[in-house]
Amino acid sequence: MQSSFTPKIACIGAGNVGATAAQYCLEMELGNVVLTDIVEGLPQGKALDMTEAGPIRNYSVTCTGTNDYSDIAGADVVIVTAGLPRKPGMTRLDLLEKNGNIIAGICGHIKQHAPNAVVIIVTNPLDVMVYLAYKKLEFPANRVMGMAGCLDSARMRAFVAMELNVSMKNVDTMVLGSHGDTMVPLPQYTTVSGIPITKLLPQDKIDAIIARTRDGGGEIVRLLKTGSAFYAPAAGAARMAQAVLRNERQLLPCAALLQGEYGLDGLFVGVPCILGSNGIEEIVELELSQTERDALNHSAAEVKEGIDGLKQIGLL
């Protein structure tokens, strides 16, 4: 990460997740934000609006909107949210091709203008897009990561707190695996002020929380009818940026390149990571039950299928 007096954060994609991530970064005064999109006027308009909120929300960092990638020059952290959601009639391969091309193009710009940045990918399908970004950026693995586990574990924390009627702040949890139906929520590592939820809730309630966590994105899509979740996803990305920019060494679940950890090699999957100024400073290996290990392998196999899809369409 490049050091500078006020850090610089580039948010690429000024849609729902990107603009909200920019807003959180400003509110947390993590640094000056450059909001980038291909749509003319969109990042400029949102950036100006967010800057004008500064005097009321009491931040002095700035937000600039641009369609010119050279404006991300020297960014310390880049958050990538550019991409399309899956539309009706679109196959998984269609989405891979569309978003894969977007990510590949953006990585060329990041490589050119922000070669020292820590890059946080948010675009779906997450674990496959972060792998593609890693290949295209050719940055060290510690500086490329995906945001999904922060979101999935935040959802699980919220559901546990709702069920027990306790503060969400007291709940900690860990969700491994890919961002999707095959994610692996870990009740044995879910606690309320240190007390495992297995001691506080019956198994059927825990199972229901796990199922709701897995369906967390779908539940919001069904409610919204058009569009998908963005407040919590953006909060997850900003949380990761905070850990990096403030060198917090926070233990957060992130999609990280596995090189033998958890018996997996050469793919990005959600695992507990210590995040600091070097990006992913450590991957923490938890002891898993056989069922959890099988579930993680199943999740990894799905990611591998996505990577094979990228090869099939010539993006790798």
Ligand X SMILES: NC(=O)c1ccc[n+]([C@@H]2O[C@H](COP(=O)([O-])OP(=O)(O)OC[C@H]3O[C@@H](n4cnc5c(N)ncnc54)[C@H](O)[C@@H]3O)[C@@H](O)[C@H]2O)c1
Binding site for ligand X (CB under 6 A): 12-18, 36-39, 42, 81-83, 85, 99, 102, 105-106, 122-124, 126, 147-148, 151, 179, 228-230, 233
* Rounded least distance, CB 198 to ligand X, Å: 26
Show the tokens assigned to 94: 């269609």
Give CA–CA dist 112/34, Å, rounded: 16
Nearer to ligand X, 80 or 201 (CB): 80
Nearer to ligand X, 192 or 212 (CB): 212
* Rounded least distance, CB 181 to ligand X, Å: 13
For residue 253, the SS3 value is strand
Residue least distant from ligand X (Cβ): 15
Q: In angstroms, how far is the first alpha carbon of the chain from the final one?
A: 27
* Rounded least distance, CB 261 to ligand X, Å: 21
Nearer to ligand X, 76 or 127 (CB): 127
Give the torsion sign (CA, 180, 183, 185, 189).
negative
The yes-or-no answer on residue 298 being catalytic is no
Task: Give the length of the chain.
Answer: 316
* Rounded least distance, CB 3 to ligand X, Å: 27
Nearer to ligand X, 105 or 140 (CB): 105
Q: How far is CA 43 from CA 6, 49, 62, 65, 239, in A?
A: 21, 10, 13, 4, 22
Residues near 215 by beta carbon (within 8 Å), at least 6 away in sequence: none
Which residues are part of the catalytic machinery? Answer: 179
